[in-house]
């Protein structure tokens, strides 16, 4: 039996150190780069090879060799666009370390994009698309000889960027690198997945498909295993099932299937509903490498709620193991513009952990990118985050029509099965989609009857068939969240997208206040990245001004400029630090409002997913809540607040935003996963910290509390609420700045006098005090990139107030920087215990 703790036998990793050289067109063939290790001195310059890493990225190799600047910095990506206009030759030598094998096979797990493979100067064949494994039989290689393996990557296929035509798409290569609102144009190329030499005695397993069937009583299940055998069809196969508690069952079968019945199976649950036990299935034939996969036992469906059934809409409520749930979370895009960049797996796991810490239970892996990586899906399996995986097909500016050319359909047949197989064993993947924002010629959301989407659905059913499928999102009949539709034709608001831009204190809020959507699978608001991130990456000139007069700011996010909007609300702003904090404050406030309004409609709305969790490239302005350096922006903490098991919605019925004409009408509501009751206190403070209004009273939920009116002082005011349980324990808190509805309503905040803070470490907690005489506005707590996770950030402290925060370190300890809009930064060095 193979040893589970050691590298599998009959397996030789050919990753690691390679060499790389670029050529124009087929100069590599003329120079014999694929056949000869040495070139003679002559009229033609000898090729300068650079060290390369496999799996990896051509761009990453060129950065390490000093041949291009890192495209994250300044305008450097403009000088790196030539990389995708070259053909690239990878090569390495190796010796066979698998003696005694009758058959040798060379496997490429994925290349970006395609290529030709040569072994000892002889062409083996072609590689497929970005995601598709390819095998070559290389039996008979001399075990004692050194062999030259070369891969020639052609120029990547021409595809449209975001402002193009979906109908002209040729391949399933993710299009975000061709130029998108959240990334520059930088088309990735490279051997970005593994290369392996496999040996066997003439028969081996090629694929392993585990399907679980959970009975209605949840006390019985079957694990059906489908085995794909290459070689002798009568070869005995050993299949070994390891239970979450360590128990092992084993079967030996002849054929392509086996079954393990489970009594009282340990069920996999989404976070908040139960645990995440995982089973493991390992199978092998004698004399060949084993295959292994990890899986969970669970049943997932899309079911109706009362509103979707009444409207004749699709079902939108996720139900896992018979338990319907409210889905909340984020849209996710690739973790880096160069997916082959070193350290990607760690970045991806960290993003999942941050989403989990923000109380998300669903991540939508948007069709602008590719399949979520194994590292990301593994971490979602372990933490209970559900995944909605879309196929890599997305909208465009001129049309969103799914392509139907023979070239695309051939790529679909070749490459889509590998994408489906890459996701099907992960219990976290609960929903598969045909693509993002696909429509017909009239821009009406496409259905599963559209021929290309029908074929995608058929391929998914053939290679999985265990999960719900949705053709696209939004699913119509209306594409966008529009107030006039919500008010006049609410029955047409099913799954909708938008809005995404900050449009001031009225139009940024109103769509959510009147929304009647059954699912809100994409919406957002932009802000600037953290000041430290801006100063780190905008290196080709001054960072200020943050508008279209600054070429770097335009290059790093030309869709999301907002200085004019900020000044409509706060008056003129001429300071980078203040500008950054004000943009992040409004993003946080809009997303909190959107999440609260959606969650406050539990019988109507099934899901709310913020656009977006992360960004793959350091933008100056963006719609992400975590910046490129993996440090959260202020909006992340408001998403964490509103997605928590218990949250507060202050409920401003009819109000177009955080402004009012003289008085606020509030109708507080507790947003909770379970019914309950407690004590709610609401307080309104003026700018000096004085109490304008205070009241305390009982509240029960899920019903909304009774409405009441609060008169506003002349200037902006801080509205706060706290909820305590029956035993006096504080369950949640919230705060929001409000003001009179007038031009530049929050200008007094932008010009508020300076105050002072003090910070002190107390064990694993941070004590922050406002030691001055002025309210400290939007206090942030930031650590080194991706290293520290404070409990909260973006809160205000009145004069004399203090706040304790927990700080969890997930990277090397270092300084914490604490700063408000109107204070100087304070650094506290936090050494490891």
- Whether the pLDDT of residue 416 is over 70: the answer is yes
Assign 3-class secondary structure to 476-528: ECCCECCHHHHHHCHHHCCEEECCCCCCHHHHCCHHHHHCCCCEEEEECCCEE
**Region 568-580 average pLDDT:** 97
Q: How confident is the model at residue 1 (pLDDT cuts 50, 70, 90)?
A: very low
What pairs with residue 297 in β-bridges?
267
pLDDT tens column, 766-780: 999 999 999 999 999
- C-alpha–C-alpha distance, residues 326 and 272, integer Å: 11
Label residue 622 exposed, middle or buried (CB < 10 Å: 0-12, 13-18, 19+): buried
Spatial CA neighbour of 736 closest among 541, 630, 589, 519: 589
- C-alpha–C-alpha distance, residues 178 and 336, integer Å: 14
- Whether the pLDDT of residue 556 is over 80: the answer is yes
Calculate the CA dihedral of residues 386, 391, 397, 403 and round it to 10 degrees: -160
* Alpha-carbon distances of 360 from 16, 378, 597, 780, rounded to whole Å: 36, 16, 17, 22
pLDDT tens column, 682-705: 999 999 999 999 999 999 999 998
pLDDT tens column, 263-301: 999 999 999 999 999 999 999 999 999 999 999 999 999
Q: How confident is the model at residue 572 (pLDDT cuts 50, 70, 90)?
A: very high
- C-alpha–C-alpha distance, residues 151 and 734, integer Å: 57
- Whether the pLDDT of residue 519 is over 50: the answer is yes
pLDDT tens column, 97-126: 998 899 999 999 999 998 999 999 999 999
- C-alpha–C-alpha distance, residues 797 and 777, integer Å: 7
**According to the CATH classification, is domain 11-199 in 3.90.1150.10?**
no
**According to the CATH classification, is domain 651-829 in 2.60.40.10?**
yes
Give the tokens for residue 733. Answer: 């808190």
- Whether the pLDDT of residue 4 is over 50: the answer is no
pLDDT tens column, 335-354: 999 998 989 999 999 999 99
Give the tokens for residue 802. Answer: 């203090």
- C-alpha–C-alpha distance, residues 172 and 341, integer Å: 20
Spatial CA neighbour of 208 closest among 290, 131, 132: 290
Angle at 94 between CA 64 and CA 338, to 5 degrees: 30
Residues of the chain with CATH 2.60.40.10: 203-287+290-295, 651-829
**Region 577-590 average pLDDT:** 98
Q: What is the pLDDT of residue 786?
A: 86
> Which CATH architecture fits 203-287+290-295?
Sandwich (2.60)
| CATH class of segment(s) 300-398+425-433+477-648 | alpha beta
Give the tokens for residue 262. Answer: 């489970």
- C-alpha–C-alpha distance, residues 420 and 403, integer Å: 19
pLDDT tens column, 130-165: 889 999 999 989 998 999 999 999 999 999 999 999
Give the tokens for residue 347. Answer: 């970045």
Going through 326-441 in order, the beta strands assigned E by DSSP cover: 327-332, 362-365, 386-390, 429-433
| HSE, side-chain direction, 13 A CA sphere, residue 707 | 9
For 106-128, the DSSP string reads: EEE---BT-EEEEETTEEEEEE-
Q: In what helix (H) or strand (E) does residue 378 lie, and over which residues does it extend?
A: helix 374-383
**Region 480-506 average pLDDT:** 95
- C-alpha–C-alpha distance, residues 353 and 543, integer Å: 31
- C-alpha–C-alpha distance, residues 371 and 161, integer Å: 19
* Alpha-carbon distances of 654 from 508, 579, 594, 658, 721, rounded to whole Å: 14, 30, 14, 11, 20
Q: What is the pLDDT of residue 653?
A: 62
Q: What is the pLDDT of residue 2?
A: 44
Residues of the chain with CATH 3.20.20.80: 300-398+425-433+477-648
Contact 548/554 with Cβ under 8 angstroms?
yes
- C-alpha–C-alpha distance, residues 242 and 279, integer Å: 6
Residues of the chain with CATH 2.60.120.260: 11-199
Q: What is the pLDDT of residue 832?
A: 84
DSSP-based three-state secondary structure for 450: coil
Q: How confident is the model at residue 45 (pLDDT cuts 50, 70, 90)?
A: confident
Q: How confident is the model at residue 655 (pLDDT cuts 50, 70, 90)?
A: low
At residue 768, φ and ψ (nearest 5 deg) are: -115, 130
pLDDT tens column, 729-755: 999 999 999 999 999 999 999 999 999
DSSP-based three-state secondary structure for 199: strand
Contact 787/814 with Cβ under 8 angstroms?
yes
Phi-psi region of 203 (alpha: psi -120 to 50; beta: other; left: phi over 0): beta
Q: What is the pLDDT of residue 446?
A: 95
Spatial CA neighbour of 610 closest among 500, 461, 698: 500
pLDDT tens column, 359-405: 999 999 999 998 999 999 999 999 999 999 999 999 998 999 999 99
**Region 633-646 average pLDDT:** 98
**Region 463-482 average pLDDT:** 94
Torsional sign, CA 174, 177, 178, 182: positive
Q: How confident is the model at residue 3 (pLDDT cuts 50, 70, 90)?
A: very low
Q: What is the pairing mode between strands 16-23 and 115-119?
A: unpaired
DSSP-based three-state secondary structure for 727: coil
Contact 493/516 with Cβ under 8 angstroms?
yes
Give the tokens for residue 326. Answer: 């409210």
The mean pLDDT of the chain is 95
The answer, yes or no, to whether the previous bond of 474 is cis (omega within 30 of 0) is: yes
Q: What is the pLDDT of residue 8?
A: 52
Q: What percent of the chain has pLDDT over 70?
A: 98
pTM of the model: 0.96
What pairs with residue 127 in β-bridges?
115
pLDDT tens column, 315-328: 999 999 999 999 99
């Amino acid at each position: 039996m193979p040893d589970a703790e050691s590298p599998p036998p009959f397996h030789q990793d050919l990753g690691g150190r390679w060499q790389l050289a670029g050529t124009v067109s087929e100069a590599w063939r003329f120079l014999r780069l694929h056949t000869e290790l040495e070139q003679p001195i002559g009229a033609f310059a000898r090729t300068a090879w650079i060290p390369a890493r496999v799996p990896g990225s051509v761009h990453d190799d060129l950065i390490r060799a000093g041949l291009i600047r890192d495209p994250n910095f300044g305008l450097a990506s403009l000088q790196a666009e030539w990389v995708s206009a070259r053909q690239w030759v990878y090569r390495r030598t190796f010796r066979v370390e698998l003696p005694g094998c009758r058959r040798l096979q060379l496997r490429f797990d994925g290349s970006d994009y395609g290529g030709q493979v040569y072994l000892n100067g002889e062409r083996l064949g072609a590689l497929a698309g970005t995601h598709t494994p390819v095998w070559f039989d290389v039996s008979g290689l001399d075990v004692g000889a050194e062999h030259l393996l070369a891969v020639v990557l052609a120029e990547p296929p021409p595809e449209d960027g975001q402002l193009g035509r979906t109908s002209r798409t040729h391949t399933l290569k993710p299009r975000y690198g061709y130029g998108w609102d959240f990334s520059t144009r930088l088309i990735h190329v490279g051997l970005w997945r593994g290369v392996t030499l496999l040996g066997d005695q003439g028969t081996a397993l090629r694929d392993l498909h585990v399907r679980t069937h959970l009975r209605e009583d949840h006390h019985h299940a079957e694990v059906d295993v489908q085995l794909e055998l290459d070689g002798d069809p009568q070869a005995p196969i050993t299949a070994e099932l390891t239970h979450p508690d360590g128990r092992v069952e084993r079967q030996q079968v002849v054929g392509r299937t086996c079954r393990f019945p489970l009594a009282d199976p340990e069920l996999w649950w989404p976070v908040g509903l139960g645990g995440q036990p995982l089973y493991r299935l390992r199978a092998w034939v004698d004399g060949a490498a084993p295959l292994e996969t990890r899986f969970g036992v669970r049943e997932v469906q899309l079911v109706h709620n009362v509103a979707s059934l009444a409207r004749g809409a699709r079902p939108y409520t996720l139900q896992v193991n018979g338990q319907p749930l409210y889905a909340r979370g984020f849209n996710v895009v690739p973790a880096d513009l160069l997916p082959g960049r070193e350290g990607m797996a760690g970045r991806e796991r960290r993003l999942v952990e941050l989403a989990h810490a923000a109380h998300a239970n669903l991540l939508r892996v948007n069709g602008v990118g590719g399949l979520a990586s194994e590292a990301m899906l593994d971490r979602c399996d372990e933490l209970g985050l559900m995944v909605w995986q879309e196929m890599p097909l997305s909208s465009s500016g001129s049309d969103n029509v799914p392509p139907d050319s023979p070239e695309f359909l051939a790529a679909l047949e070749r490459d889509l099965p590998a994408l489906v197989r890459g996701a099907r064993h992960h219990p976290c993947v609960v929903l598969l989609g045909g693509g993002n924002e696909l429509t017909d010629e009239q821009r009406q959301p496409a259905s599963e009857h559209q021929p290309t989407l029908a074929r995608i659905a058929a391929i998914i059913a053939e290679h999985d068939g265990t999960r719900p499928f949705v053709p696209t999102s939004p699913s119509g009949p209306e594409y966008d969240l529009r107030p006039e539709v919500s008010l006049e034709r609410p029955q047409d608001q099913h799954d909708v997208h938008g809005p995404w831009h900050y449009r001031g204190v009225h139009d940024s809020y109103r769509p959510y206040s009147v929304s009647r959507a059954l699912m809100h699978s994409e919406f957002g608001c932009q802000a600037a990245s953290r000041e430290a991130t801006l100063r780190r990456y905008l290196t080709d000139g001054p960072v200020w001004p943050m508008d279209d007069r600054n070429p770097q700011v335009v290059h790093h996010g030309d869709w999301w400029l907002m200085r004019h909007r900020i000044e409509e609300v706060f008056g003129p702003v001429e300071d980078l630090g203040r500008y950054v904090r004000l943009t992040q404050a409004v993003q946080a406030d809009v997303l909190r409002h959107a999440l609260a309004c959606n969650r406050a409609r539990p019988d109507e709305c099934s899901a709310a997913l913020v656009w977006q969790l992360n960004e793959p490239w350091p933008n100056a302005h963006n719609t992400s809540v975590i910046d490129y350096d993996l440090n959260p922006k202020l909006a992340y903490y408001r998403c964490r607040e509103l997605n928590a098991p218990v949250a507060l919605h202050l409920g401003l019925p009819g109000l177009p935003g955080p402004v009012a004409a003289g008085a606020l009408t509030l109708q507080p509501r507790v947003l909770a996963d379970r019914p309950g009751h407690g004590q709610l206190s609401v307080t309104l403070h003026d700018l000096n910290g004085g109490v304008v209004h205070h009241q305390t009273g009982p509240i029960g939920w899920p019903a909304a509390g009774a409405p009441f009116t609060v008169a506003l002082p002349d200037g902006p005011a801080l509205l706060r609420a706290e909820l305590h349980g029956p035993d006096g324990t504080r369950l949640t808190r919230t705060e929001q700045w409000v003001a009179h509805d007038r031009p530049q309503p929050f200008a007094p905040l932008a010009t508020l006098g300076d105050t002072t803070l003090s910070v002190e470490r107390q064990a694993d907690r941070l004590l922050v005090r406002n030691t001055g005489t002025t309210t400290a506005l939007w206090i942030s707590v930031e650590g080194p990139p991706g290293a520290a996770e404070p409990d909260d950030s973006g809160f205000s402290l009145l004069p004399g107030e203090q706040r304790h925060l927990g700080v969890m370190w997930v990277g090397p300890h270092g300084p914490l920087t604490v700063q408000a809009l109107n204070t100087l930064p304070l650094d506290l060095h936090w050494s490891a215990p």
